[in-house]
C-alpha cells in the first residue's frame, strides 16, 4: 500500500472506491419498489464523487425508505420515527466534515417529523435529504399519509382520504432560510441521478422530494404520471438539473425556470398541475448553521478555560 522514500516521507497511494465499497446488506424492499433505484443512484454518486465510506453517514427515521442505511457500506444511523433530521443535525453539528445523507418518507418527514423538518430547513446544515414520497405509510401497510391524494382508499380511510394532500414543495419553500428544493421521479434514473447529484453538490440543506412508486399500497397514485408524461412539467434552466437532448424529448411539457426566482418557484409548486420535476429553488448564499455555531471549535484548552471564565464573570456581583 505504501513505501518509504529516500527523504523518509510516506508515499500513500490514493484510494479508489468502487460501487462495492458502498454496498451494505441485501435490499429487502418489495420487487418493483422505487426505493431500489434511489439506493442505486446514491451509491453511484458516492462512487463518482469518491466519497470515503468512513466519512459518509446515512441517517434515517422509520419507514420502508428508512432501511436505506442498512444497505449502504458507510456509517449509518437508523433512528426513531420522524427523528432522522435531529440525528443528522447532531452529527453535522459536531462532525461538520462528514458527508450526511438522510433517507426519510412522506409520513416520517412531513407528519411525525414535521417540527424537525421546519427547523432543519431553517438551520440549513449541509446535508442531502431524500424524501421518498409514495403518498402512503408503506411499512405499516397502507395508512393515509400527509401526501395521500383526496379520495384514496386506505386502511385508515376505507371510504377515501377526506382532505386535500399537503404540498411539500410549497411548504418547504415557505420556510425561512430555505436554500435548495427539487422534485424528481424514481422511474427516470438519469433525472433522479442528476437531481440528487445537484442536491449533494449544494452546500446547505438540500431537500429532494422523490415521487416514489409503491406497487404494493399506492400503485395507482403515480401510474398516471408514469404512463402519461404530459402530466409532468420539466423545469429547465442552465442553473437547473442538466439533461441531455434525447431525454428532454421524453417530457412534452417544459418550462424555463430560474431556480433563484422564489416567487415563480412558488407559483409552479402551488399549481402542481402538471406536476413539476426539476430544481424549483436554489440559493447558494444562505449560511449554514454548522459554520456559524462551530466558531471556536478548534480552541485549545487554555483558550476554552479563559472563554469560560470570561463568560462566568458576566454573572459576578
Q: CA Rg, the chain, in Å?
A: 21
d(CA 202, CA 291): 15
Identity of the residue, 73 or 138, whose beta carbon is nearer to ligand SF4 in the bound complex: 138
Cα–Cα separations (whole angstroms), residue 89 to 5, 100, 148: 43, 9, 28
Q: Tell me which residues touch Mg ion (CB under 5 A).
A: 105-107, 134
Q: Which of 26, 33, 96, 40 is nearest to 63 (CA)?
A: 33
Task: Compute how many residues bind ligand SF4; rule: CB under 6 A.
Answer: 11
185 binds ligand SF4 (CB under 6 A): no
Single residue of 175, 216, 247, 260 touching ligand SF4 by CB under 6 A: 216
Single residue of 24, 69, 107, 138 touching ligand SF4 by CB under 6 A: 138
Whether residue 88 contacts residue 118, with contact meaning beta carbons closer than 8 Å, is answered with: no
Q: How far is the CB of 289 from ligand SF4 (least distance, A)?
A: 32
Q: Which three cell numbers stand for residue 86?
A: 435531529
Q: How far is the CB of 78 from ligand SF4 (least distance, A)?
A: 15
d(CA 278, CA 242): 9
Whether residue 195 contacts residue 241, with contact meaning beta carbons closer than 8 Å, is answered with: yes
Cα–Cα separations (whole angstroms), residue 178 to 14, 61, 119, 184, 229: 37, 22, 10, 18, 29
Whether residue 111 contacts residue 82, with contact meaning beta carbons closer than 8 Å, is answered with: yes
Show the binding pattern over residues 223-262: x = contacts ligand SF4 (CB under 6 A), - = does not.
Answer: ----------------------------------------
Q: How far is the CB of 68 from ligand SF4 (least distance, A)?
A: 11
175 binds ligand SF4 (CB under 6 A): no
Q: Which three cell numbers stand for residue 155?
A: 386502511
Select the span of 28-36, 89-97, 258-266, 302-310 touching ligand SF4 (CB under 6 A): 28-36
108 binds ligand SF4 (CB under 6 A): no
Q: Which of 242, 46, 221 is nearest to 150 (CA)?
A: 221
Question: Binding partner of residue 216 among Mg ion, ligand SF4, none, CB under 5 to 8 Å per kind?
Answer: ligand SF4
30 binds ligand SF4 (CB under 6 A): yes
Identity of the residue, 223 or 297, whose beta carbon is nearer to Mg ion in the bound complex: 223
The footprint of ligand SF4 (CB under 6 A) covers 29-30, 33, 35, 64, 134, 138, 214-217
Amino acid at each position: 500500500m505504501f513505501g518509504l522514500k529516500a527523504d523518509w516521507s510516506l508515499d500513500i497511494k490514493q484510494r479508489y472506491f468502487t460501487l462495492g465499497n458502498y454496498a451494505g446488506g441485501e435490499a429487502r424492499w418489495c420487487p418493483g419498489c422505487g426505493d431500489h433505484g434511489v439506493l442505486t443512484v446514491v451509491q453511484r454518486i458516492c462512487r463518482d464523487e469518491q466519497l470515503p465510506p468512513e466519512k459518509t453517514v446515512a441517517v434515517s427515521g422509520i419507514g420502508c425508505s428508512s432501511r436505506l442505511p442498512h444497505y449502504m457500506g458507510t456509517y449509518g444511523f437508523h433512528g426513531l420515527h420522524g427523528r432522522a433530521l435531529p440525528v443528522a443535525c447532531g452529527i453535522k453539528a459536531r462532525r461538520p466534515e462528514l458527508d450526511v445523507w438522510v433517507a426519510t418518507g412522506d409520513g416520517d418527514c412531513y407528519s411525525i417529523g414535521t417540527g424537525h423538518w421546519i427547523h432543519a430547513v431553517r438551520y440549513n446544515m449541509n446535508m442531502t435529504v431524500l424524501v421518498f414520497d409514495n403518498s402512503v405509510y408503506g411499512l405499516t401497510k397502507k395508512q393515509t399519509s400527509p401526501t395521500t391524494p383526496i379520495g384514496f382508499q386506505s386502511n385508515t380511510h376505507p371510504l377515501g382520504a377526506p382532505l386535500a394532500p399537503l404540498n411539500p414543495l410549497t411548504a418547504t419553500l415557505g420556510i425561512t432560510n430555505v436554500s435548495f428544493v427539487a422534485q424528481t421521479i424514481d422511474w427516470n434514473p438519469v433525472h433522479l441521478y442528476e437531481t440528487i447529484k445537484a442536491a449533494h453538490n449544494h452546500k446547505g440543506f438540500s431537500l429532494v422530494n422523490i415521487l416514489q412508486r409503491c406497487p404494493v399500497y399506492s400503485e395507482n397514485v403515480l401510474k398516471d404520471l408514469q404512463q402519461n408524461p404530459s402530466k409532468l412539467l420539466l423545469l429547465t434552466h442552465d442553473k437547473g438539473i442538466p439533461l441531455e437532448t434525447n431525454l428532454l424529448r421524453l417530457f412534452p411539457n417544459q418550462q424555463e425556470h430560474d431556480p433563484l426566482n422564489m416567487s415563480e418557484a412558488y407559483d409552479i409548486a402551488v399549481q402542481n398541475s402538471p406536476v413539476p420535476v426539476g430544481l424549483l429553488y436554489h440559493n447558494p448564499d444562505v449560511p449554514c448553521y454548522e459554520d456559524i455555531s462551530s466558531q471556536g471549535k478548534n480552541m485549545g484548552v487554555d483558550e476554552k478555560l479563559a472563554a469560560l471564565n470570561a463568560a462566568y464573570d458576566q454573572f459576578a456581583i
